[in-house]
Amino acid sequence: MNPFDSAPDSPPDFVDPADVIVGPWAGSGAQGPTPGRDEGADRGRDRGARRPSPRGGGATSRAAGTTGGRRSPRQARDDREPPPDKQGPDADPHEVARTIVLRQLAAAPRSRKQLADKLRERGCDDDIAASVLDRLEQVGLIDDAAYAATMIQSQQTRRGLGRQGISQELRRKGVASEVIDEQLESIDDDDERERARALVDKKLRSMHGLDATVQARRLAGMLARKGYSSSIAWSVIREAIADAPEHQPD
């Protein structure tokens, strides 16, 4: 019997290699094209199923504010912190403010000023915000001294900042001047000098061949931007240039 003469409803006596599924789906139960089925129509229907509708898909994408399926950091933050007016008309404003503050602290250390600014941005009443912040400060969840100590260590290690640079960063974060001065006393003079020397030595390697005066001027500018005092900066620069092999006498 000719296999091509078999009845339409009977299974074929042979398998076309083109119909065999090859790849990661093999053996998963997926089926190949049905014999006698219009594969062009199947592909057309598949494309139509994947194509978003003019109203549904576009509106959803715009509402989500996505770019390539990703939400912006601000949108993700807003999802984590729904504004007070979206938490229901009967929501306790103190509890709303407390929730916002705790979520902020869970994400990263914050100063009291940063938290107060966040509550104001979220529409919280200033009196309610002050009450919530006072309470969390009493129980130790808000501690500007501990925050400043953490910032000092981070700025020294990650950015190599000196006292003045760290002080500027803490002021920008809203830490009180007396707290900053107290915490900066923990910085050891010798440690600060070693950090300045490490920065200078690293920079000098990229300035080989320049005149010593040019090197000194550029190094002084670099240390000033990092927040080192002029006395430490020039002392370290003179030593580093004198120790550089290119400036050693023949």
Rounded to whole angstroms, the maximal C-alpha distance in the chain is 103
What pLDDT does residue 112 have? 97
Taking residue 248's Cβ as centre, other Cβ atoms within 10 Å add up to 8
**CA–CA distance, 5 with 12 (Å, rounded to integer):** 10
Enclosing domain of residue 218: 189-247
pTM: 0.61
117 and 162 together in one domain: yes
Name the burial class of residue 113, with classes exposed (0-12), middle (13-18) and buried (19+) by CB atoms within 10 angstroms of its CB. middle
Task: From residue 141, give the alpha-carbon distance in Å to each of 25, 38, 115, 123, 133.
Answer: 53, 67, 12, 22, 9
What pLDDT does residue 73 have? 64
Task: From residue 177, give the alpha-carbon distance in Å to each of 61, 142, 156, 230.
Answer: 47, 17, 19, 22
180 and 199 together in one domain: no
Considering its fold, how many domains does the chain have in total?
2
* Residue in the structure block whose two tokens are 């139960």: 29
- Domain-embedded: residue 230: yes
What pLDDT does residue 79 have? 54
165 and 203 together in one domain: no
Per-residue pLDDT at 118 exceeds 60: yes
pLDDT band at 247 (very low <50, low <70, confident <90, very high): confident
- Domain-embedded: residue 30: no
Name the burial class of residue 183, with classes exposed (0-12), middle (13-18) and buried (19+) by CB atoms within 10 angstroms of its CB. buried
Task: From residue 26, give the alpha-carbon distance in Å to each of 15, 20, 44, 239.
Answer: 15, 9, 24, 70
As given in the structure block, the two tokens for residue 199 are: 């920065």
Asked if 145 and 135 count as a contact pair (C-beta separation under 8 A), the reply is no
Residue where a domain stops, chosen among 132, 160, 184 = 184
Condensed to tens digits (0 to 9), the pLDDT of residues 7-61 reads: 445 454 444 544 444 444 344 444 444 444 555 555 555 555 455 544 444 444 4
Phi and psi angles of residue 214, each rounded to the nearest 5 degrees, phi first: -65, -45
- Please tell me the total number of residues recorded for the chain in this structure: 250
pLDDT band at 245 (very low <50, low <70, confident <90, very high): confident
Residue where a domain stops, chosen among 136, 154, 184 = 184
